[in-house]
Structure 1
Amino acid sequence: MLVSPKDQSPSGRPIQDDRKLPSNPEEVENLRRDSAANPLIAFTFDELKLITENFRQDHLLGGGGFGSVYKGIIAKDSREELQPLQVAVKVHDGDNSYQGHREWLDEHRVLIYEYMARGSVENNLFSRVLLPLPWSIRMKIAFGAAKGLAFLHEAEKPVIYRDFKTSNILLDQDYNAKLSDFGLAKDGPMGDKTHVSTRIMGTYGFGVVLLELLTGRKSLDKSRPGREQNLTDWALPLLKEKRKLLNIVDPRLEGDYPIKGFQKAAMLAYHCLNRNPKARPLMRDIVDSLEPLQEPEDVPNNKNCVHCD
C-alpha cells in the first residue's frame, strides 16, 4: 500500500512529471478505479493523518535513512474494502532546505506497510527480558526468511539483498518473517553469473543468521572472550566435527529441541558458509532443506542427553 507511486500512472504509462503524484482525492480515486493495472492501494495524505492521528509523536516507531516510521490503525469504517488493520507508515523526511521542504509538501513520499507487531528477530533472539525463542519458532523464522531471499534471487531480474541480518528481519504476531530495509539492495547480474553473485551476497548472509538462531549468539560480540567474538570463526571448527556439534547450541533452549533437526540445520549453516561461493547451496535448495524441519519432532525427555555423543 502506498500514497504516491512515482514511476507509473494508473494506466501503467510513465508519469511525465515525477512530482505530479496522486496526493489529492481526485487523483487517488482514479488510481483506485484501475486496480487491475495497479493492485496497490492508494491513500490520500488526509487519510494518513487520520490513520496516524496526525503523525503523533507517541506513534513514532523509529527511523532510518528513508525517514520516520509511525504506527497507525486503519479503522473499520475508513474503507469498505479493507479489514481493520494495524500498519506502519513510513514517511520520507526530505532534507532541511527550502527546496527539500517544498518537494515533501508536493510529493508526500509515504509508504504503508503491514505493522510487524513483534519487531525484529534481533530484539527477540538476543533480548534478556523476553522469553527465549523456542526451537520451532527459530526454524519458522529461518524458513520464512529463506523463502524471502529465494524469491529475490529467483526473480526474472535477480535482486541482491546486501543487508540481510537479524535486525532487518521483522516478525508479525505469529512470527512470520518479512525482510525489510532494502536500501542496500541492488539488481543482480543476468545469465551465468547470477547464481555466483547471489551465493556470495545472499547465501553466506543467510548462513550467518541461521547460525545466530542456532547458537543464540550475535555475529559479532565484543563482550565475549577474544576467540569467541566472531561467531563464524568460533563456530565453524565445531561444525566440522559431529561430536562437537552440540557444543554450539543456545543453552537457553535447555535441551528442548530435536537433536537430528539441530544437526541438519547446523550442517546447512556450515554449507552456506563455505569459503568457496560456488559450493554454497542455492536459496531454493535451502528452502527445501528447511521445510522438513517445520514438522514437530520428538524432543528428548532427559534434557541432559543432548550432551551425549
Structure 2
Amino acid sequence: MNLLCLLFPMCACSFSLFSLVILGRPESTFAPIPASVLPSKQEPISLFSSQMEAVSPGVAVVRVVHHQDLNKRILIALIVASTLLGGLLLFLLCFWICRQKILKNSNGKSKQNQEPTKALSLSPIVDRFSSLWMAGKKGSVAVIEYRLLEAATNGFQESNVLGEGGRGRVYKACFDEKFLAAVKKLDDVGAEAEREFENEVDWLVKIRHQNIVSLLGYCIHGETRLLVYEMMQNGSLESQLHGPSQGSTLTWNLRMKIAIDVARALEYLHENCNPPVVHRDIKSSNILLDSDFNAKLSDFGLAVTTASQNKNVKLSGTLGYVAPEYLLEGKLTDKSDVYAFGVVLLELLIGKKPLEKMSPTRCQSLVTWVMPQLTDRSKLPNIVDPVIKDTMDLKHLYQVAAVAVLCIQPEPSYRPLITDVLHSLIPLVPIELGGSLRVT
C-alpha cells in the first residue's frame, strides 16, 4: 500500500511532464506559410529536389519538414518520459526492498528483546490471569490476591497439602484445568521469618535459571505470607529418597542427572551471579523435581552474597548438611555449599538420611559413617542403595564416590570448586539426560 501511494503521484508527475512537452510546442509549426514569404523560384539542387518541387507546391514542402521535426520532438519526449518513469519505478522498487529488509530486521530485534520479558514471566499465570488477580508488581513477580489463592487451594484444605517445612505448609493450587502451582503458606510470621520471606522474594526476582525454581508471585495477607511457585510434580528429592517409594523411581542415571542439575544451579550462583551467591541451605528437601525429574533448587530465604565470606554469619541451615567451618567457627564461603552438595551426593548413592536416628538420644552422621568405606573399592558396592545396586558401571560408581569424598573434606581449601565437580559428573550422564555419555 505504501508503494502504491508513492507510485501514483510519481506517475502523475511523469504524465504531466509528458503532456507539457506535447502541449507546450509552438503553434506556428503547424500554420501554413504564405507563398509570398517563400523565396522566388530557384534552380533545383538535385533531381530529387526537382521532382519534389514539381509534384507539390512549395507550402507543402515546408509542412513536411515541420512534421518531421515534430515527430522527432515527440519521440525525444517519449524517450525522456519513459526513461524518467523507468528510473522512478526502479528507484521505488529499490526503496521498497530496502524498507522491507529494515522492517524485517527491526521485527527480529523486537522479538529478541521481547524474549527475555517472556522468560522473566516464566508462567502462563501472569499472562492468563493478570487481569483477574495481579494487583501490582515487585520486579517481575505478581502480587496475588489472597482470595484467589484461597479459592485455588480449596480453602487450604488438608487434601491439598504437598509438604510441610519448618515455616509452614505447601499446598497444591489449581487455577484452571491445565495450570497448577505450589503455594507455600507461612503463618504467624516473626521478625526472622519476615526477613527470610523478603530475602526469598528479592533473590528469586533477580535469579533466573533452568535449574532454579521459578517464583510466580507472592501475597501478604495480615500476618500471613504466601509464596507461589511453579508446580514440581515429583515433589522433593527428600520425599523421593526417604518417602514411601524409598527411591524406587530413581534409577542410577536419574540420580546422576539430578546431581548435575543441582551442580549447574550452584555453578550459576557461584560463578555467574554478580556478586556471587551462597545458597546456605542446600539439602534434599530443597531440591524439587518436575514431571521429567529435572531438578531445581529452591528456598532462597537464607541466601547471601559472598561479601559475607570469611565473616561471622549467624548460623543457619540444617544439621547434617552444614559445613564444619560454618558450624564451629561461623565462617561461610561458597565451599560451604560444595560440602552440602557432597552430602546430597551421598544421599543419592547410599539412600540414607544425613542424620540417622539410632536411639532417642543418639544420631549417626552419614558423613562420619560412610567416609572410611567410600575409599575402599571392595566395600563401596555393598553400601550402595539397594534400589540401584549392580545397575551401574563400577568405574562410574568409583568416580562419583571420589567426587563426594572431595566435596565433604573437613578443610574447605581441599574441596573442589562446583564447576570442577560439574565437569567431573557430566561425562557419567547420558546425552539425553543432559550429560555427554554416549550409551551403546
**Fold shared per TM-score above 0.5:** yes
Kept after mapping to 1: 8 A contact 2:381/2:389: no
Q: How many angstroms apart in 1 are the aligned matches of 2:439 and 2:252? A: 12
Q: Structure 2 CA distance, aligned partners of 1:73 and 1:182?
A: 24
Q: Distance in 2 between matches of 1:120 and 1:26?
A: 31
2:299 aligned residue (167, 174, 181): 181
Q: Does 1:145 align with 2:280?
A: no
The partner residue of 1:92 within 186, 194, 201 is 186
**1:206-217 maps to which residues of 2 (within 5 A)?**
206-217=341-352
Query: How far apart are 1:25 and its partner, in Å?
Result: 7.0
Identity %: 39
Of 275, 282, 307, 2:410 maps to: 275
| Amino acid corresponding to residue 124 of structure 1 in structure 2 | Q
Distance 1:47 1:259, change over 3 A: same
Task: Establish whether residue 60 from structure 1 lines up as the match of residue 161 from structure 2.
Answer: yes
Q: Deviations over 1:203-254 (max 9, x none)?
A: 1111111011111122222349xxx932222222223344444343223323
Higher helix share: 2
Q: Quick one: distance in 2 between partners of 1:258 and 1:223?
A: 32
Partner residue in 2 for 1:50: 151
In structure 2, list runs of 5 or more residues that go unmatched: 1-129, 195-218, 312-330, 431-436
- Partner Cα distance (1:26, 1:167) in 2: 33
Distance between the aligned counterparts of 2:221 and 2:143, measured in 1?
A: 17
Question: Residue 28 of structure 2 corresponds to which residue in structure 1?
Answer: none
- What's 1:219 paired with? 354
What letter matches 2:419 in structure 1? Answer: R
Question: Is it true that 1:134 corresponds to 2:228 in the alignment?
Answer: no
In 2: Cα distance, 1:211 partner to 1:268 partner = 10
Which residue is equivalent to 2:277?
Answer: 159
- Once residues 439 and 358 of structure 2 are traced to their aligned partners in structure 1, the CA distance between those partners, rounded to angstroms, is 35
Distance in 1 (alpha carbons) for counterparts of 2:224 and 2:364 = 44
Q: Which has the higher contact order (CA 8 A, sep 6+)?
A: 1
1:120 match: 236
| TM-score normalised by L of structure 1 | 0.69
1:138 is displaced (CA, Å) by 0.7
**Are the aligned partners of 1:238 and 1:247 in contact in 2 as well (CA < 8 Å)?**
no
TM-score by length of 2: 0.50
Flag the 1:232–1:26 CA change in 2: closer, same or farther, 3 A: closer
Structure 2 CA distance, aligned partners of 1:199 and 1:187? Answer: 9
Once the two structures are superposed, the pairs formed by residues 195-274 of structure 1 within 5 Å of their partners are 197-223=332-358, 229-274=364-409
Structure 2 Cα separation of the partners of residues 202 and 66 of structure 1 = 22
Asked which structure has the greater CA Rg, the reply is 2
Q: Which moved more, 1:40-49 or 1:141-150?
A: 40-49
SS at match of 1:221: strand
Counterpart contact for 1:157–1:190, Cα < 8 Å: no
**Count of residue correspondences:** 255
Match of 2:7 in 1: none
Aligned to 2:84: none
State the shift of 1:125 in Å: 1.4
Separation of aligned partners in 1, 2:168 and 2:267? 28
SS in 2 for 1:251: coil
C-alpha contact (below 8 Å) 1:70/1:88 kept by paired residues: yes
Aligned-pair Cα RMSD in Å: 3.5
Does the CA-based 8 Å contact 1:161-1:201 persist in structure 2? no
